[in-house]
Amino acid sequence: MIKAIRGTRDLLPPDTALWNFVEKTVREVFGAYNFQEIRTPIFEATELFARGVGEETDIVSKEMFTWEDRGRAQSEKNQLLTLRPENTAGVVRAYIEHNLQQRGLNKLYYIGPQFRRERPQKGRYRQFYQIGAEVIGPASAGSESPARDAEVLELLATLLDRLGIRDWSLRLNSVGCANDRAAYNEALRKALEPVVSEMCEDCQRRAVTNPLRVFDCKVPEDQPIIEKLPRISQFLDEGCRKHFEQVQAILKSVGVPFTLDDRLVRGLDYYTRTAFEFTHGALGAQNAILGGGRYDGLSESLGGPSAPGIGFAIGEDRLVLALQESAEAVLRTPDVYIAPLGAGMDREAARLARELRHHDLVVELGDENFRLKKSFETASKVGVRYVLIVGENEVKSGSYALKNLETGEQVSVPRAELAGKIQAK
C-alpha cells in the first residue's frame, strides 16, 4: 500500500469543516481590517530564502526541500529551487517585483501550504499550512509606525477571540535595529567566548557566524549558559526603545494583554524591533500557535527599495488542533434526508431536493432501491433530524410524510410548506 509521506497528512471530513470555518472567519476579519489576498508561488529560487530568512537559521541550514532544476536549453544554467518554508520572503519579492510601493501601504494576507524538513510530531509537520499577513510599504505611508504593530496584534487578539480560542497568551519583545544588533552581537560574542567550548556543535558555529541564533538552541545542557547571556533589551537605542514603548502603550489602551520576554528573538534573521509569539495552553510542546514581527530591512536585503513592514503567520494546523474541542459547534449536519420509495421515485426526489436546497437547506438524497428500513438507518448515520418520504401516494396527493427522528413524530406536510417546516426545527 502506498501511504502519505511521513510528516504530510490527509485532511479529512469532518475536520475539513473546521478548516473551512477557520478560513472563512479569517477572511472576514482580515476584510474588516482592509487586508487583501496575495498568492505567491509554492516554489521559489533557493537564494530568496537564503538571503531573506538567513543562511544560519535552522530553516535554511537544515529544513528546506531544495532541488536542482535542470535548465531546458543548453545555454540555460541549472537553478536551485526550494519549496517555500515560509511566505514573508515571497511576499516581499512580489512587492519588489511588481513595484507595490506605488500603492503606498500594502496590507496583504495569504493562506497556504509551507514546507520544512522537521522531525514530525503532533503539531509539527513537513507540509503545514500558514495563515499570514504582511503590512509593508514606504515609510512615508506609515509602514514604520508603532500603530501598525499594535494594529496587527490587536487584529490577532480579535481573530483568536472570534474563533473561540480563549486560552492564548502573547509574548512580546523588541529585537532592535541594525545599530543595536551590531553592539549586541559583539556583546554576545564576548560573553560566549569563555563558555562556547562547553556548548553543542551548532552553537559553536553560531557563536562565530551569527551569535543571535544561539537562542534557537534546544539542547537542554546549553540552556543554563544561554540563560546567562546578555539580553537585547539592554542594547536598544533611543528610537527602538521609544517605538517599543508606543506599541505597548497602544496595546494597553485597546486592552490586549501581553507579557514581555526579552529571550524571544524568533528563528528567522529578518526581524527588527517588534517580535512576538502567541502560545496556546492546550498544544503541549509545539505550543506556538503563531509568530511574527517587524522586518524593516528585508526589502533592501533582497535588492528592493526601503520598505518597512510587519507581519505574522499562524500555524493553521495548530490553530485547528486548539479548536478541536469546540468542533461540534461549527459542523453543519444535513437538515433532511429524502427517502424515495419505489420505482420512478428517484426523479421526484431529485426535484424536491433541488427545491429544498434553493431554500438553503442541506439535503442528503437517498435511493429508490433502498427499503424504507435501510433509508432510516442511513439517515440516522448521516445525523439528520428529518426524513422525508417520497412515494407514489405522496407525489399524487402533493403532501409528504416528514418524520422527526428525534421525537419519532410523523406528519404529512404539503409541498409548499416543507422548507418552512424543516427550517423551523
Q: Which of residues 31-90 bind ligand HAM (CB under 6 A)?
A: 86-88
Residue 148 phi, psi (nearest 5) = -70, -40
Q: How far is CA 155 from the centre of its chain?
A: 14
Binding mask 295-324 for ligand HAM (x = CB under 6 A): x---------------xxx-x-xx------
The letter for the amino acid at 120 is: P
116 binds ligand HAM (CB under 6 A): yes
**By CB under 6 A, which span of 30-38, 284-292, 363-371, 386-394 interacts with ligand HAM?**
284-292
**What's the min distance (Å) between Cβ of 19 and ligand HAM?**
14
Q: How far is CA 43 from the centre of its chain?
A: 18
293 binds ligand HAM (CB under 6 A): yes
The answer for residues whose C-beta is within 8 angstroms of residue 109's C-beta and 6 or more apart is: 26, 30, 35, 36, 37, 38, 131, 132, 133, 134
CA distances from residue 178 to 48, 232, 264, 412 in whole angstroms, order as listed: 20, 12, 17, 76
DSSP for 218-272, please give it. Answer: --GGGHHHHHTS--GGGG--HHHHHHHHHHHHHHHHHT---EE-TT---SSTT-E
Nearer Cβ to ligand HAM (46/375)? 46
In the complex, residue closest to ligand HAM by CB: 315
| CA dist., res. 283 & res. 280, Å (int) | 6
Interface residue with ligand HAM among 54, 132, 176, 366 (CB under 6 A) is: 132
Grid coordinates 512576538 are at which residue? 276
289 binds ligand HAM (CB under 6 A): yes
Interface residue with ligand HAM among 30, 95, 109, 128 (CB under 6 A) is: 128
Helix (H, G, I), strand (E, B) or coil at 189: helix
Q: Which long-range contacts (CB under 8 A, 24 or more apart) does 413-418 make?
A: 415/352, 418/352, 418/355, 418/356, 418/388
**What's the min distance (Å) between Cβ of 379 and ligand HAM?**
38
- Cis peptide bond upstream of 414, omega within 30: no
| CA dist., res. 259 & res. 390, Å (int) | 62
Nearer Cβ to ligand HAM (134/368)? 134
Nearer Cβ to ligand HAM (87/375)? 87
Binding mask 134-153 for ligand HAM (x = CB under 6 A): x-------------------
**By CB under 6 A, which span of 173-181, 233-241, 291-299, 412-420 interacts with ligand HAM?**
291-299
The distance between the two most distant Cα atoms of the chain, rounded to a whole number of Å, is 93
**What's the min distance (Å) between Cβ of 210 and ligand HAM?**
16
Please work out the total of residues on this chain that contact ligand HAM, with binding judged by CB under 6 A: 26
| CA dist., res. 57 & res. 194, Å (int) | 23
Interface residue with ligand HAM among 106, 130, 174, 299 (CB under 6 A) is: 130
118 binds ligand HAM (CB under 6 A): yes
| CA dist., res. 226 & res. 217, Å (int) | 9
| 102 contacts 68 by C-beta, under 8 angstroms | no
Nearer Cβ to ligand HAM (299/375)? 299
Residue 18 phi, psi (nearest 5) = -65, -40
Interface residue with ligand HAM among 291, 297, 340, 391 (CB under 6 A) is: 291
125 binds ligand HAM (CB under 6 A): yes
Nearer Cβ to ligand HAM (291/391)? 291
Q: Which of residues 263-282 bind ligand HAM (CB under 6 A)?
A: 267-268
Binding mask 91-110 for ligand HAM (x = CB under 6 A): --------------------
Nearer Cβ to ligand HAM (8/378)? 8
Interface residue with ligand HAM among 27, 124, 241, 357 (CB under 6 A) is: 124
Other C-beta atoms closer than 10 Å to the C-beta of 320 total 19
CA distances from residue 34 to 234, 253, 272, 376 in whole angstroms, order as listed: 36, 22, 24, 48
| 67 contacts 53 by C-beta, under 8 angstroms | no
**What's the min distance (Å) between Cβ of 406 and ligand HAM?**
40
Give me the residues that bind ligand HAM (CB under 6 A), please.
86-88, 116, 118, 124-125, 128, 130, 132, 134, 267-268, 288-293, 295, 311-313, 315, 317-318
